[in-house]
Amino acid sequence: MFGFLCPSGISPVVQFKKGDVNKAMEHRMNRSRYIASVFNRSATKGRIFLAPYNAGCHWILCVIDPYNSIAYFINPWHNDKNKGTGYGVCEDLRTLIETAILLFQSEKEMQKKIKINTMWLQIQCPH
């Protein structure tokens, strides 16, 4: 029922200098490929994946349902005005998960079911 993603496989562990945009984008794509490969190996309908992500100064927990393109997240520093948009999550994590879900769905040939927009839902937690 549950799958787990390695925090060091999804968190940005490399610091890039200004101007290293291509390297940073390739690093993000490699992390998305890692997530998609985990989904491909062990995803089944109804299975969700726990993805602890280190945003640099604090942790965010994502719970991902790749078949339904839904990502739940717990972020104690989340801003309520962005609730439901995915913008309470840092841009890196949002792009990372959305890319991984698209890779997974395209590799599973779920062409008719691919949802371009991932739904982001905040799970309430203490601030």
pLDDT in tens, 7-29: 988 888 766 667 777 777 888 89
| Per-residue pLDDT, 42 | 85
Options 3.30.310, 3.40.30, 1.10.10, 4.10.860; which CATH number does 2-122 get? 3.30.310
Instruction: Indicate the pLDDT class of residue 82, thresholds 50, 70 and 90.
Output: very low
**Section 115-120 average pLDDT:** 77
Task: Considering only residues 73 and 111, tell me which one the structure prediction assigns the higher pLDDT.
Answer: 73
Q: What is the pLDDT of residues 53-67, one digit of tens each?
A: 987 778 889 999 998
Q: How many residues does the chain have?
A: 127
Matching residue, tokens 């008719």: 112
Nearest alpha carbon to residue 3 among 38, 52, 53: 38
Cα–Cα distances in angstroms (integers) from residue 57 to residues 26, 69, 77, 121, in the given order: 23, 27, 11, 22
